[in-house]
Amino acid sequence: MEDFIRGIPKAELHVHLEGTLEPEHIFALAERNNVALAYKTPAQVIAAYDFHDLPSFLTIYYAAMSVLQTEQDFYELAYHYFQRAHEDNIVYVEPFFDPQGHTTRGIAFETIIKGIHRAQLDAEKNLGIESNLIMCFLRDMSAESAMAHLEMCLPFKDWIIGVGLDSDEKDNPPIKFTEVFARARNEGFKLTMHCDVNQTDIVDHIWQCLDDIQVDRIDHGINALEDERLCAEIAKRGLGLTVCPVSNRFVVQSLTTKEIKSMLQRGMKATINSDDPGYFRAYLTDNFLALIEEAEFSQDEIRQLNANAFETSWLSAARKKHYLEQVNNFS
């Protein structure tokens, strides 16, 4: 089973590039850019990763971003992730990036996206990893700021496949961004939003994603299981749900294996993802291995979870078919 999990071709649809910053890399970048850190060693950094909910994680996540300053820094951030993804037999990725985490520190949008884009080209050429980028808005910032960043990205429109919504969900519902996402759809972007686990009003937030925003995918979305009608609608629309088991364990103390199985049984397209692997210390294969340690998953279920990721990706029909053949023929 472990060999099967390691070897099967994988797609990852929920990974924040800034969440792939490894402690050693934080130190190297801090030294290169003359940024003072509160820690003396990478081990001390890991020891400080004491997350128990979403805000306690986000505080550390945003603080570490200060080491990212030049185009080369963003290139290295993304390229390191692609190298690590290659070890997990990931062949396709739709990674997130958080421009507002950087523009608010005076970094130009162009610096961020050019570095990431160059890494994507090199990953495809050197590692055979295909990728399409998703730009996330920070939901604890204003809708005006989100709109300004949507406009800022338009000169680079061909380098971005979709837009998402992340950061602190409390009191920041999807409908705060209805206009921004409507404009994004008109510009040709695919739409997704975080519906993080066990947040206040989370079932309402998921309904808003369907009814008001008309998302093409849902990030996390575990709490949909509390509402039968919502589950049926998600299954009917064939919406992917990007579940992140180890991340869930940090914020809600559960790998949510029961919920993942329940989604599969209902025909909901659950997928497995790493979210912020540099912080949660688990890349994609580690997430699958954690699942089988806690619960019984058959090879067919693991295959289904991987097939769901390719099916609900934003690849062309021809590319999906190409990858799905590899997944379905893998043994």
Interaction site with ligand ADE (CB under 6 A): 16, 19, 54, 61, 166-167, 194, 196, 247, 275-276
Select 64 or 327, whichever has its Cβ closest to ligand ADE: 64
For the CB of residue 54, give the shortest distance to ligand ADE in the complex, in Å. 6
Q: Which position's Cβ is nearest ligand ADE?
A: 166
Q: Which does 310 bind (CB under 5 to 8 A by kind): Zn ion, ligand ADE, none?
A: none
* Residue 66 binds which entry of Zn ion, ligand ADE, none, CB below 5-8 Å type-dependent: none
Q: Which is nearer to ligand ADE, 136 or 184 (CB)?
A: 136
The region that residue 287 occupies, defined by phi over 0 for left and psi between -120 and 50 for alpha, beta otherwise, is alpha
Pattern 97-136, Zn ion, x by CB under 5 A: ----------------------------------------
CB of 96 to Zn ion, least distance (A): 7
d(CA 175, CA 240): 20
According to CB under 5 A, which residues from 249 to 278 bind Zn ion? 275
Of residues 165 and 225, the one with the C-beta less far from ligand ADE: 165
Q: How far is the CB of 329 from ligand ADE (least distance, A)?
A: 33
- Nearer to Zn ion (CB atom), residue 27 or residue 283: 283
State how far the Cα of 285 lies from the Cα of 10, in Å rounded to an integer. Answer: 9
Nearer to Zn ion, 16 or 102 (CB): 16
From the CB of 145, what's the least distance to ligand ADE, in Å?
A: 16
Question: Binding partner of residue 10 among ligand ADE, Zn ion, none, CB under 5 to 8 Å per kind?
Answer: none
Pick between residue 133 and residue 327 the one whose CB is nearest to Zn ion. Answer: 133
List Cβ neighbours of 232 (8 Å cut-off, separation of 6 or more). Answer: 266
- Cross-strand bridge partners of residue 220: 195
Least CB distance to ligand ADE at residue 267 (A): 26
Residue listed under structure tokens 């809708």: 143
Size of the site for Zn ion (CB under 5 A): 1
The dihedral through the CA atoms of 160, 162, 163, 167 has a sign that is negative
CB of 273 to ligand ADE, least distance (A): 10
CB of 222 to Zn ion, least distance (A): 12
Spatial neighbors of 29 by CB under 8 A, at least 6 apart, are 35, 67, 68, 69, 73, 76
Residue 274 interaction partner, one of Zn ion, ligand ADE, none, beta carbon < 5-8 Å per kind: none
Q: In the complex with Zn ion, which residue's Cβ is closer, 78 or 327?
A: 78
Q: Which is nearer to ligand ADE, 172 or 304 (CB)?
A: 172
| 79 neighbors 276 (Cβ within 8 angstroms) | no
* Shortest CB 205 distance to ligand ADE, Å: 12
Q: Residues interacting with Zn ion, by CB under 5 A?
A: 275
